[in-house]
Chains A and B, each alone.
Chain A
């Protein structure tokens, strides 16, 4: 099945990107591998027929937030020599592995306990813009509106604060 191959492709890219994020020394390389992870995640959402989440992942995370981060890396012109020296990192790495190992064991146990049945994608329209919108505006109206107003206030506040300096 083509979706299976696509899934493995996206999953591999996502993991490779995440590895790149922590292994690459140069901030730009790290950021670009993280972009790869985010795009692969969007692909995985699309395979799960969550079209709206796919679009939002691309617009918000891969598009807006990561381009701001790249912008800052470019703006500050961070080079490898600007990064702090970290002589104890192997020690921290070993400690981290020991601390995280039980959680990894838990995750392996969870993934083993998943039933090995064929999973079918929901019927047409699941995850589409209209369906998610209806759910959002009927069951989750109040939280949605509060978050919207919070974002709007932040946006207007930013504009007002940025404009104030010009007046003086």
Chain B
């Protein structure tokens, strides 16, 4: 292995491990701000470091410090301490491992070498996801069972039954999708979605599988135990469900595990149905060919976006009543300075690229970076859909949940398989 190989292995694994973790912070922030937005209130706006609140992101640091320094209690009535400690780890690790097979950019071609841009370049793709998601159930079952608490057991039972039931419609929705793509490899699926249908519609999964995408998204919501399917932690009935006995970092692992699972399933939905890293109408080869015009367009676009973002911050980040020397406006000035220096740095980097480095390897790396950005942006939007649904819909009743899964989604998924295969055989 050359130095470049080792570097890329490290980079890809670092991406696969640290991006979901960073997204935990972003998602917790998005959840709070989103909740505040939907409920017409302010959200976290007090925590600050030297007056800088970063739009509420500092609240996460406060929460993290609180959880890390809290006393780690294992209640005395718990007999199986090993499973009690193992459960949160399982939930968190399985959520993180699912991301390992999701591609975040097209195959990177450097010279004569091809690098598959996944944390673990495995070609079983979606099967790995299904396998690892199955292990997440163990964490929930063990947590509920080892808590030795009625609420815990009830929550664990609900969560486990729900995850097991919704794996079936999810798997069946995937079957018809696999028939369309003709592969289980997520990288190949992503490449497939770079093509155009009838020459002008991007061939994304949701265009080809309009019914499948709905089934899959509903099942994915249920798999991640998110509202409207979060009966496992229905506060009004069973307190906090399977993590009622947990405190400190063990609780934090459940909490982070939920957000990592949300990020990973958003990433998977994007990969399967919303074109993965593909920028619509610009597949990898087009981007590489027209790298210079694209870069010039980005250089022109960046200041415009920066200007509007800065104006938006100026409008919103101020006190809503009269204050002398408004500290929030000072904060905004610093943010805008930071924003413009970021824009300036990006412009300089792009200019250096244009003048000195364009062509060959640099184009490939630039395109890969663009695709990573696109992938993360799409995933971010999909995560917002999770937050959006959570604060819009009320929680279902448990029998309703099982009924939707077995009596609505399952027949629909089977129907979808028949229709899809008929279309593929007759027109494909």
B134 contacts A67, C-beta separation under 8 Å: yes
Mark contacts of A36-77 with chain B using CB atoms, 8 A cut-off: 1 yes-contact digit, 0 otherwise. Answer: 000000000000000110111011001110011011011101
Q: Is A28 an interface residue (CB 8 A)?
A: yes
Q: Is A129 an interface residue (CB 8 A)?
A: yes
Task: Name the residue on B nearest A57 (C-beta).
Answer: B131
CA distance A121 to B127 in the complex (A): 22
CA distance A103 to B153 in the complex (A): 44
A67 contacts B138, C-beta separation under 8 Å: yes
Which residues from B are CB-within-8-Å of A128? 123
Majority-rule SS of A interface residues: helix
Q: Which residues of A, 119-168, contact B by the 8 Å Cβ criterion?
A: 128-130, 152, 155-156, 159, 162-163, 166
* Nearest CB of chain A from residue B114's CB, rounded to whole Å: 15
Task: Name the residue on A nearest B122 (C-beta).
Answer: A51
B406 contacts A163, C-beta separation under 8 Å: yes
Which residues from A are CB-within-8-Å of B133? 63
Mark contacts of B386-417 with chain A using CB atoms, 8 A cut-off: 1 yes-contact digit, 0 otherwise. Answer: 00000000000000000100110011001000
CA distance A159 to B408 in the complex (A): 10
B407 contacts A129, C-beta separation under 8 Å: no
B407 contacts A63, C-beta separation under 8 Å: no
A54 contacts B124, C-beta separation under 8 Å: yes
Q: Which residues of B, 90-146, contact A by the 8 Å Cβ criterion?
A: 122-124, 127-128, 130-135, 137-138, 141-142, 144-145
**Which of A75, A129, A163 is close to B123, meaning CB atoms less than 8 Å apart?**
A129
A64 contacts B167, C-beta separation under 8 Å: yes
A62 contacts B406, C-beta separation under 8 Å: no
B134 contacts A59, C-beta separation under 8 Å: yes
B123 contacts A51, C-beta separation under 8 Å: yes
Which residues from A are CB-within-8-Å of B157? 71, 74-75
Which residues from B are CB-within-8-Å of A59? 127, 130-131, 134
Which residues from A are CB-within-8-Å of B122? 51
Which residues from A are CB-within-8-Å of B164? 64, 67-68, 71
B124 contacts A74, C-beta separation under 8 Å: no
Q: Is A14 an interface residue (CB 8 A)?
A: no
**Which of A28, A52, A68, A156 is close to B124, meaning CB atoms less than 8 Å apart?**
A52
Q: Is A21 an interface residue (CB 8 A)?
A: no
* Nearest CB of chain B from residue A165's CB, rounded to whole Å: 11
List chain B positions with a Cβ less than 8 A from chain A: 80, 83, 122-124, 127-128, 130-135, 137-138, 141-142, 144-145, 153, 156-157, 160-161, 164, 167-168, 183-184, 403, 406-407, 410-411, 414
Given contacts A28-B145, A63-B135, A75-B157, 11 further A-B contacts (CB under 8 A): A56-B127, A58-B131, A58-B135, A62-B134, A63-B133, A64-B134, A70-B160, A74-B145, A74-B153, A162-B406, A163-B407
- Jot down 9 A-B pairs with beta carbons below 8 A, ordered by A: A28-B83, A52-B127, A67-B164, A73-B145, A74-B141, A74-B160, A129-B124, A159-B407, A162-B406
